[in-house]
Structure 1
């Protein structure tokens, strides 16, 4: 069977191939695309003699339909996985949230800078260097309960420094729910 003969048989059985592909793929557009792919590949398919060209073309169409279904499933899984890891709108900070976060960070940094040296050292070793409290106690020459007390006071100072933001956030939320004060609502 020559390439021209395979193309002639393709045109002869094209309506039946189209029906088969619509049944396998579920829609006419994908079936038409698959037939187009098949037509473009006929040049490469006729490398040697083909004993039953119609059966051969049905098998090629079936294989292309399977490949297309697999590709669609993979694309769907990939797109779903991509969407699953994308942040939702509430997770993306707006300008106000970013400004508040920067202000909170500055407050925490200032609170740490204002701590006595031993307290700041204990906090740094415990939280940032992940040292056990026993090692911190040995390095500072105090008891483990002394380290615990230093850490508690450090946390309290940080909490107190950030507490102003919690009040401001509550006030902002309350005002935004009450409506615009200028409109009299």
Structure 2
């Protein structure tokens, strides 16, 4: 029996219950089988119009291939999702709001300290710590010796540490100005 596209659609509709059972058995889930049948119906619209010698066998093979493709895609999705969840931090590892605010304040203080440094010191620090260049490469770029780069970096670190120490030694102010600790 040879079928055209209109005939193939009719064979699909006639064999739909059997195709659904086949897909349910292969996919292990009636909902996935329904989705696969819907995908098959849409795919039938995209097929070139040509006679098919055994339309039922064609549809069963199409269903089996579609089920295999969906199982492979599902397995890949599971592996990808498991890998993604495996690298996500636990809720206990997430910083709380207070820690985030403290870190932002420290970053602003560090940026302010760096902004007060001489330009050449800023450049050496940025090239070494941010761009991860060697001291020799920094010396060549700035036109100074490696010893000069070492001295710039040492002074930069001393300024950063002094600013950090000064900040941590400040007494903490109450959250609300003029507020009382007693209620």
TM-score of the pair, normalised by structure 2? 0.60
Does the Cα contact within 8 Å between 1:6 and 1:46 map onto a contact in 2?
A: no
Give deviations 1:7-64, integer Å, cap 9, x for gaps. 4433443332222111211201111122233334445558222222221110111122
Does the Cα contact within 8 Å between 2:9 and 2:44 map onto a contact in 1?
A: yes
2:69 is the alignment partner of 1:59: no
Q: How does 1:40-59 map to 2 (within 5 A)?
A: 40-43=42-45, 45=47, 47-59=49-61
Counterpart in 2 of 1:68?
Answer: 70
Does the Cα contact within 8 Å between 1:9 and 1:54 map onto a contact in 2?
A: yes
Structure 2 gaps of 5+ residues are: 128-132, 173-180
Structure with more helix by fraction: 1
What is the CA RMSD across the aligned residues, in angstroms?
Answer: 4.3
Structure 1 gaps of 5+ residues are: 172-180
TM-score of the pair, normalised by structure 1? 0.59
Distance in 2 (CA, whole Å) between partners of 1:150 and 1:16 is 79
2:133 is the alignment partner of 1:135: no
Distance in 2 (CA, whole Å) between partners of 1:9 and 1:57 is 8
